[in-house]
A and B are shown apart, each in its own frame.
Chain A
Amino acid sequence: ADHKYVEFDFLINGQFLRVPLVTHIEMENISTEEVVEIEYVEKYMAPQPEECIFHDDWISSVQATEEWILTGCYDQTARIWSLEGKPVMTVAGHTEVVKDVAWVKQDSLSCLLLSASMDQTVLLWEWNVEKNKVKALHCCRGHAGSVDSIAVDCTRTKFCSGSWDKMLKIWSAVPTDEEDEMEEAANRPRKKQKTEQLGLTRTPLATLSGHTEAVSSVLWSDAEEICSASWDHTIKLWDAETGDLKSTLTGNKVFNSVSYSPLCRRLASGSTDRHIRLWDPRSKDGSLVLLSLTSHTGWVTSVKWSPTHEHQLISGSLDNIVKLWDTRSCKAPLYDLAAHEDKVLCVDWTEAGLLLSGGADNKLYCYRYPATASDVGA
């Protein structure tokens, strides 16, 4: 026989069919007089667990690329791992807990990466892949509180950081020439030895103020647009060039994390209640929640959209579960990944179809999820 068994999933009007057809039609008030179109898609298979990487302390953040996984840990280091789970490099240098990490650039020779920490600095590192050596290029000082979140823009020349001092700062991510800096630096008396080892001090290009409470999460939604979520229950959109506030989305609860998907142009936010909310960043100054996904039983600490599929996202929460959602089925997630034994602090989704989640049980779990192309035509 040449056939194989394939499972299908059905959609009516963009909503997944999860209950018997009659119940669904009654609930959605679809008239039975009209023709009801049922779309069928191949059922999304469950993510297959691949790796479990053990760390020494809580994992605060994770970002993965095609070849490497970068994690930030509460033991004041950031670590680089291969996709098979082998430790490659330990990036130590911070004097406090590392709260967020990000890749800036990758070549086959060297990579640039960032780590933000509770010691109020962001360090720009250069990692030489061949020699497997890491060096701190710049130490970005300027924040007056723990830096909780960083995001690199699409041109990979700038990055933005949000911190407990209620400010957002934009910095340059391009490593400047050492010689120029070194000459200047030689003229100034060196106060602390540590700045030498940690690279040269860098000051921010711009500071965006407007939040009345700590900023918990930042991202670049466009080439010159920054989106920041804060403890003052608002999500603000800024113009990176001028530094002006463009619009504000107001909610009821502290926002823990936001994620933007250019495919569906929606923002997903995780808050200190159990819901994940979808917002339209283009709406003018409102508090209009488009969709609310409820299934977690604790705070949602992190959310991430799929880079390939416009309807899928994952969320991690304090109830130890990572959930994979499809926004077309808003009543229940597609899959629950309950592998963690303690709070889930960070999640990530790579283009290649790898799901990662790190938590307070010191473990980083990787899942393989076949990247299905989105249904929207090219």
Chain B
Amino acid sequence: QDIRNTVGNIPMEWYQDFPHIGYNLDGKKIYKPIRTKDELDMFLEKMENPDYWRTVQDKMTGADIKLTDEQVDLVHRLQKGQFGDVHFDPYEPAVDFFTHEVMIHPVTNRPADKRSFIPSLIEKEKVRARGSAVMAGEKHLEGGSCWARGTWQDRGGGAWVSRGPDPRPLRPQKLAWEQQEPAERKLNFVPQQYRCLRAVPAYSRFIHERFERCLDLYLCPRQRKMRVNVDPEDLIPKLPKPRDLQPFPTTQALVYRGHGSLVRCLSVSPSGQWLVSGSDDCTVRFWEVCTARCMKTLPVGGVVKSVAWNPNPTICLVAICVEQSVLLVNPCLGDKLLYGATDQLLESYVAPEEERVQPVQWVTATTEEHSRGVRLVVQHSKAVKQVTWHGKGDYFASVVSDNSNMQVLIHQSSKRWSQNPFRKSKGLVQCVLFHPIRPYFFVATQRYVRVYNLLKQELTKKLMTNCKWVSSMAIHPGGDNIICGSYDSKLAWFDLDLSTRPYQLLRHHKKALRSVAFHRHYPLFASGSDDGTVIVCHGMVYNDLLQNPLLVPVKVLKGHVLTLDLGVLDVLFHPTQPWVFSSGADGTVRLYT
């Protein structure tokens, strides 16, 4: 209401024709300002009046009012759609009434409903509806829930038996429970199903648990299990990469085919030109190494268990174990002068005057056998298992498959003299070996390896292999380390200077180990096993006594075919090159280079 004009809320057009425009408070007429504004005047005003744009006519009083700056500002703000008041800041931070932070007191003080403490009524309705549908047979539940099987079983005649919980989920629990730490387990027992409540036995851990509770009560300090947080990567020894340990055999190069049955044994000439192999087809074959050519085949009339080429390069002899005899054969390969000289050496033997009592018989070969190459036959009383030469080439040892004290015999070929070094039998002898340099003799029985000093004629050491059945043995050319392969797929490396227990046990193979071998010059050793592979390892022995040997498995050589569950039967290194020969049950000998 405009207090200057008391006219009230009426349309101002009613005063159009009158000279006045309402009445003031005193009741006097308010006359319109005297102005007759015609078009020309209005136009001139528009052009010349600088304040034209901010003059408005007040409807109540009829006067022209010039708007102040604040009023103009207000008008502009309203036109932009902003809030009228200048002092109003539309961007002030909002003050939450209901804040997101958890305050001590709730917004409302309304107490919780009872339904938050009581089982849900809605769910109860749902279950009731579902259950009645199941019972009525309209709906079937998924398997796995005890509802699917039904909780009660009708025994007929009104008798109902409770089925009990489903036993199936409990079975895998036992293994997981056993593997967990005792402190981590949720329950101290494995839940077990019993036929009925009467059959549930007394709790076995009852007293233990009572005791633990008592300890807890008087705050007994328990020994903490120190859990070592070991990174499993640290436990793996840092071995050099095989690439750095070259040369070693990597691929199969040649296959020597010709034998008809499994090839049990191999030996190579000291020059490295010839290879001899003995097989179950009762023949011994001589091969040229570089071409796989079978130079000679010698039928020997019996299964060949072991062959050994005399390591002395000036004597050309091969010892072959056939059934109950050891044949000394001159293969007539290589230098004619050498094998001629060997024959002369053998012929120049003069028998001693007195008859010696020998455990074996030395028989010169018949002419027919001589033509085939056989020079001497050493007749044993039982089947011979293994023959091996001493490094100098004069003595050789043979092992008889017997359980008496006459298992091991040492023979001297130049004097044709044999002796039995042992009075008592210490077990089934598996294999024997001469030391390359010193006068030691190694005898491997099923679980132990005994080292005898031949000069002093006494037992020096007994090596405990941790294996159940030793199958083969080999000695490092330096003479201080031995490896034993056993039928329980373990290879034990013994450092004779270190201890009588194995320095390392290598479990690289999956099946029984049949044969082990060392290389004469390169730091390599190999093992052949029934899984058909030969594993070549780098075995560096240091001259420095403080440093332990470094054993690194370097290559798995595959190639043999498994026959009759047997794989590789014998393994041998070439004397000069980093090559390995292996003979297998598939009747072949393979060369890996």
Binding site for B on A (CB under 8 A): 58, 74, 97, 119-120, 144-146, 164-165, 213-214, 216, 231, 252-254, 256, 272-273, 298-299, 318, 343, 345, 360
Residue of B nearest to A60 (CB): B291
Contact A144 B273 (CB under 8 A): no
**A144 partner, pick from B253, B254, B337, B593, beta carbons under 8 A:** B337
Contact B273 A214 (CB under 8 A): yes
**A298 partner, pick from B253, B335, B336, B577, beta carbons under 8 A:** B253
In the bound complex, what is the Cα–Cα distance between A299 and B576 (angstroms)?
A: 18
Per-position binary interface string of chain B over residues 238-280, scored 1 when its CB falls under 8 Å from any chain A CB and 0 otherwise:
0000000001000001100000000000000001110000000
Whether a CB of chain A sits under 8 angstroms from the CB of B299 is: no
**A272 partner, pick from B253, B272, B292, B334, beta carbons under 8 A:** B253
CB distance from A60 to the nearest CB of B (A): 8
In the bound complex, what is the Cα–Cα distance between A55 and B336 (angstroms)?
A: 28
Contact A213 B334 (CB under 8 A): no
Task: Report A-chain residues with C-beta under 8 Å of the C-beta of B271.
Answer: 145, 164, 214
A145 and B291 in contact, given A213-B576, A318-B254 (Cβ under 8 angstroms):
no
Whether a CB of chain A sits under 8 angstroms from the CB of B293 is: yes
Task: Report A-chain residues with C-beta under 8 Å of the C-beta of B293.
Answer: 58, 74, 97, 360
Binding site for A on B (CB under 8 A): 247, 253-254, 271-273, 290-293, 295, 334-338, 576-577, 593
Main secondary structure of the interface of A (DSSP, over half): loop
Contact B576 A231 (CB under 8 A): yes
A360 and B291 in contact, given A119-B336, A144-B337 (Cβ under 8 angstroms):
yes
Among B247, B254, B291, B295, max chain A CB count under 10 A is at B291
CB distance from B268 to the nearest CB of A (A): 14
Contact B335 A144 (CB under 8 A): yes
Contact B577 A254 (CB under 8 A): yes
In the bound complex, what is the Cα–Cα distance between A13 and B336 (angstroms)?
A: 55
Residue of B nearest to A166 (CB): B271
Contact A252 B247 (CB under 8 A): yes
| Extra A-B contacts (13), CB below 8 Å, given A231-B576, A360-B293 | A58-B291, A58-B293, A74-B293, A144-B335, A213-B272, A214-B273, A252-B247, A272-B253, A272-B577, A273-B593, A299-B253, A343-B291, A343-B292
Task: Report B-chain residues with C-beta under 8 Å of the C-beta of A318.
Answer: 253-254
Question: How many pairs of residues, A versus B, come closer than 8 Å at their CB atoms?
Answer: 51
Task: Report A-chain residues with C-beta under 8 Å of the C-beta of B295.
Answer: 97
Task: Report B-chain residues with C-beta under 8 Å of the C-beta of A256.
Answer: 290
In the bound complex, what is the Cα–Cα distance between A216 and B290 (angstroms)?
A: 10
Residue of B nearest to A148 (CB): B290
Contact A164 B577 (CB under 8 A): no
In the bound complex, what is the Cα–Cα distance between A345 and B577 (angstroms)?
A: 21
In the bound complex, what is the Cα–Cα distance between A360 and B293 (angstroms)?
A: 9
**B335 partner, pick from A145, A213, A231, A345, beta carbons under 8 A:** A145
Contact A120 B254 (CB under 8 A): no
Task: Report B-chain residues with C-beta under 8 Å of the C-beta of A74.
Answer: 293
Task: Report B-chain residues with C-beta under 8 Å of the C-beta of A144.
Answer: 335, 337-338
Residue of A nearest to B332 (CB): A96
Contact A272 B593 (CB under 8 A): yes
10 A-B pairs closest in CB distance = A144-B335, A272-B593, A145-B335, A299-B253, A164-B273, A254-B577, A120-B336, A213-B576, A144-B337, A298-B253
In the bound complex, what is the Cα–Cα distance between A97 and B288 (angstroms)?
A: 11
**A145 partner, pick from B254, B292, B334, beta carbons under 8 A:** B334
In the bound complex, what is the Cα–Cα distance between A253 and B253 (angstroms)?
A: 13
In the bound complex, what is the Cα–Cα distance between A284 and B304 (angstroms)?
A: 52
CB distance from B589 to the nearest CB of A (A): 15
CB distance from A10 to the nearest CB of B (A): 35
CB distance from B577 to the nearest CB of A (A): 6
CB distance from A318 to the nearest CB of B (A): 7
Contact A345 B336 (CB under 8 A): no
Complex A-B: 18 CB contacts under 8 Å: A97-B295, A144-B337, A145-B271, A164-B334, A165-B335, A213-B576, A214-B271, A214-B272, A214-B273, A216-B290, A231-B272, A231-B577, A253-B593, A256-B290, A299-B254, A299-B593, A343-B291, A360-B292
CB distance from A299 to the nearest CB of B (A): 6
CB distance from A342 to the nearest CB of B (A): 10
In the bound complex, what is the Cα–Cα distance between A299 and B579 (angstroms)?
A: 13
Task: Report B-chain residues with C-beta under 8 Å of the C-beta of A120.
Answer: 335-336
CB distance from A213 to the nearest CB of B (A): 6
In the bound complex, what is the Cα–Cα distance between A10 and B39 (angstroms)?
A: 101
In the bound complex, what is the Cα–Cα distance between A173 and B216 (angstroms)?
A: 105
